[in-house]
Structures are given as structure tokens and as C-alpha cells.
């Protein structure tokens, strides 16, 4: 007789009038919102603009849901296309059945499209979102609890999960593998956040660490499950998938650290209106050198009337005291050649000089 156990809900759906509210869907939705919220905070901290993570998630999430469902249907095709099965059930995603491997793979395609449209490097965006994805998985696993699915071997441990009798399951107490994976995912999120701060991970290495750490836990948790699955060389298909993806993630970590050390200096280009990302603008305001560099430079070719010294002469006005005697005085009328051509008035008592009117003669 078990002294303690984790009870399972009697139903995974609550009807609000004609509208069914499914626990499995709620867990996924909550996970997505938490992932976007945490990813946005990390993105802004790295110099990105608020809202960019959500804009790209609009592409990544639908692709991820389709990819997760496709992976589940392909690897468990006998549940939908076997004898006595209805292939329409393959579209009933609310009844459970999402493969994380397909969700991440196809979700990455959607994220790549969103990043391309925004001119953002996909590895940087994935690094910012990596812990949030792990937290989203932690929430999503509780959807399996609502559906009473994906549990482990029978056990009488105090934290055993009680399963009621139903289609494709036998009543009893089993290892709560959904709980094991949920807690493991929270640990993975904490590990990625710590390692990112400690080693300044960049160029997709934070995401690769998340993938490797998740696969390490998924391997032994998957090995405990007793639900129907395909086996290869005595191991469940998902165990082999975890091994292969783990090796690929570790390989990427090593090669990336050698080929592209450090972290991206700029994760998001300047906006279309010329505004800098929020964090970058804050850093520039806090840096006196940046403030001086951004300040407008005064035009030295124009006098600054506001700062003019009354004791100094105005350079824009002529200095009569220093006038050059060789130069004509601009303040006196200019004597033209016509004035010089006029005869000078005769002195009293002297006859006037006759004017030379010979052709071609010049007037003096």
C-alpha cells in the first residue's frame, strides 16, 4: 500500500460552456509567454531592442508546433495509420503528442526567416532565447500530467504518480517522468544563465549548451519510460536521437569557441529611423566621451555673437585706426576719371587754358 503519491487529474479538460479549456494547451501557452518574456530581457541586456524577440517568435512558434507534431506523427505513425486507427487524429494536437526534436528543428527555420527579415544574426537570438526555451519545456511537461501520459516504470516511491485506468494505460503508480524532465529543464535554464554570465557565451554557444544539457537528461529519462516506442539496437528511438544531438551540440561548442571566440559586439542594427537600441543608447549616455563625440561641433567660420567680448573690436567692421594709407578710404567718395577730366577752375588774374580738341587726344 502506498503511503504517498502524486495524484493525476480526473480530466484534462474543463468546459466553459461550449468552449473546451484543455490543460495541455494551457501549459504550452504559458511556456511560450515565459520564454518570450525571459528571452526579451536577455536580448535587451545584450544591446537589442525591446520587442524583437516577440516579433521573431511570431515566426518560430507556429513552425515549432508544426515541426513538433510532424516528428511525433512520423515516429509514432502506428497510432494514426495502423489498423483500426483514424488518420484524422493526427491533427488533434490538443490530445497531446509533440516531439521536442521536431519543434526545435522546424522552429529554428521559422526563427531564421524572422531574423533574416530583421537583419539579425540567428545565433545571437538563439543564445538569448535558450534559457527561456528550457523553462517553456518545464511548463509544457505538465501537460503530460493533465493527459496522464509519458510516465515511467511502476514504483512505490513516495513521489510515485498515480495513473487511473484508461485507453492505452493500466491503473497503478509509476515514475513521474514528466516531473523529472520538468525539474531537469529548470536546472538546464539555470546552468545556461550561469555559464553565459561566467564565460560570456556568444555565436550560438549558449544555445548549444542548452541543447547538450537537455539531451544529457532526456537520455536517462527516456530510458525510464514505458509508453510504446520504436527501438533500435535495444534502445528507444528518442534515446538515440538524444545521443546524436548531444554529440553535435558538444562538437559545435568546441569548434565555435576556437573559430569565433568571444561574443557578438552588435546583435541588432540601428532602426529604420536611425534610433539606436535601448541598451546601447543608455551606455552612450553614461559615457562622457560618447556624449562629447555626439555633441554638435560649433562652426568656427561664423562669429559667436552670444560670447562676443565687448572689449575686443568687432572683426566684421573695419578698424579705421589701423587703416592702410595706401588704400583708398572707403568712407570718402571715390573720385572717378570723369572728375579728373574736368578743367580745374582758373585762378584769379590768370587766363584759362585752352582745351585740346585734337582728334585722338586724351583728356587729362
Average pLDDT of each block of 10 consecutive residues along the chain (364 residues)? 76 82 90 97 95 96 94 86 82 81 94 95 96 96 91 93 87 94 97 96 96 96 89 91 96 95 87 48 44 47 49 51 48 50 50 45 42
Question: What confidence score (pLDDT) does residue 271 get?
Answer: 58
Q: Output Rg (C-alpha) for the chain, integer angstroms.
A: 41
> b/e per residue, 241-254, with b = 16+ CB within 10 A?
bbeebbeebbebbe
Q: Which of 301, 306, 326, 209 lies closest to 256 in space, CA to CA? A: 209
What integer pLDDT is reported at residue 122 of this predicted model?
95
- Residue count of the chain, please give it: 364
Phi/psi zone of residue 200: left (φ > 0), alpha (ψ -120 to 50 degrees), beta? left
CA distances from 155 to 35, 151, 173, 237 (A): 33, 11, 6, 24
Rounded-to-integer distance, Cα 188 and Cα 200, Å: 17
Given this model, what pLDDT does residue 37 score?
A: 97
User: Given the C-alpha cell 503530460, which residue does it identify?
Assistant: 144
CB 152 within 8 A of CB 224: yes
- Quote the pLDDT of residue 167: 80
The neighbour count for residue 203, using CB atoms within 10 Å, is 21
- Contacts of 132 by beta carbon, 8 Å cutoff, 6+ apart: 34, 35, 36, 37, 38, 39, 42, 189
pLDDT of residue 284: 42
Q: Which of these, 145, 155, 177, lies nearest to 4 by C-alpha position?
A: 155
Amino acid at each position: 500500500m502506498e503511503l504517498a503519491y502524486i495524484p493525476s487529474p480526473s480530466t484534462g479538460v474543463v468546459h466553459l460552456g461550449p468552449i473546451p479549456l484543455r490543460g495541455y494547451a494551457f501549459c504550452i501557452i504559458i511556456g511560450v509567454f515565459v520564454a518570450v518574456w525571459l528571452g526579451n530581457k536577455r536580448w535587451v541586456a545584450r544591446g537589442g531592442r525591446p520587442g524583437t524577440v516577440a516579433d521573431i517568435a511570431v515566426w518560430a512558434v507556429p513552425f515549432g508546433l508544426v515541426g513538433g507534431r510532424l516528428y511525433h506523427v512520423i515516429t509514432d505513425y502506428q497510432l494514426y495509420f495502423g489498423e483500426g486507427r483514424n488518420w484524422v487524429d493526427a491533427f488533434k494536437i490538443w490530445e497531446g503528442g509533440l516531439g521536442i526534436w521536431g519543434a526545435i528543428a522546424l522552429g529554428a527555420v521559422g526563427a531564421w526567416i524572422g531574423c533574416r527579415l530583421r537583419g539579425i544574426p540567428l545565433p545571437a537570438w538563439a543564445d538569448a532565447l535558450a534559457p527561456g526555451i528550457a523553462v517553456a519545456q518545464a511548463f509544457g511537461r505538465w501537460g503530460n500530467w493533465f493527459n496522464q501520459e509519458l510516465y515511467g516504470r511502476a514504483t512505490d516511491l513516495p513521489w510515485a504518480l498515480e495513473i487511473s485506468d484508461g485507453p492505452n494505460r493500466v491503473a497503478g503508480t509509476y515514475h513521474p517522468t514528466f516531473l523529472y524532465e520538468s525539474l531537469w529543464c529548470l536546472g538546464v535554464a539555470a546552468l545556461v544563465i550561469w555559464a553565459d554570465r561566467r564565460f560570456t557565451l556568444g555565436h550560438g554557444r549558449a544555445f548549444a549548451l542548452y541543447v547538450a544539457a537537455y539531451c544529457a537528461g532526456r537520455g536517462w529519462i527516456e530510458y525510464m519510460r514505458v509508453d510504446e516506442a520504436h527501438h533500435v539496437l535495444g534502445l528507444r528511438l528518442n534515446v538515440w536521437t538524444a545521443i546524436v544531438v548531444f554529440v553535435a551540440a558538444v562538437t559545435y561548442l568546441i569548434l565555435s569557441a576556437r573559430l569565433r571566440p568571444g561574443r557578438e559586439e552588435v546583435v541588432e542594427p540601428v532602426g529604420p529611423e536611425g534610433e539606436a537600441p535601448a541598451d546601447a543608447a543608455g551606455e552612450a549616455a553614461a559615457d562622457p566621451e560618447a556624449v562629447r563625440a555626439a555633441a554638435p561641433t560649433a562652426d568656427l567660420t561664423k562669429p559667436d555673437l552670444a560670447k562676443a567680448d565687448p572689449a575686443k573690436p568687432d572683426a566684421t567692421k573695419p578698424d579705421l585706426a589701423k587703416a592702410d594709407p595706401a588704400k583708398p578710404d572707403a568712407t570718402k567718395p571715390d573720385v572717378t576719371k570723369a572728375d579728373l577730366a574736368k578743367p580745374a577752375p582758373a585762378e584769379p588774374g590768370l587766363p584759362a587754358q585752352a582745351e585740346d580738341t585734337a582728334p585722338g587726344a586724351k583728356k587729362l
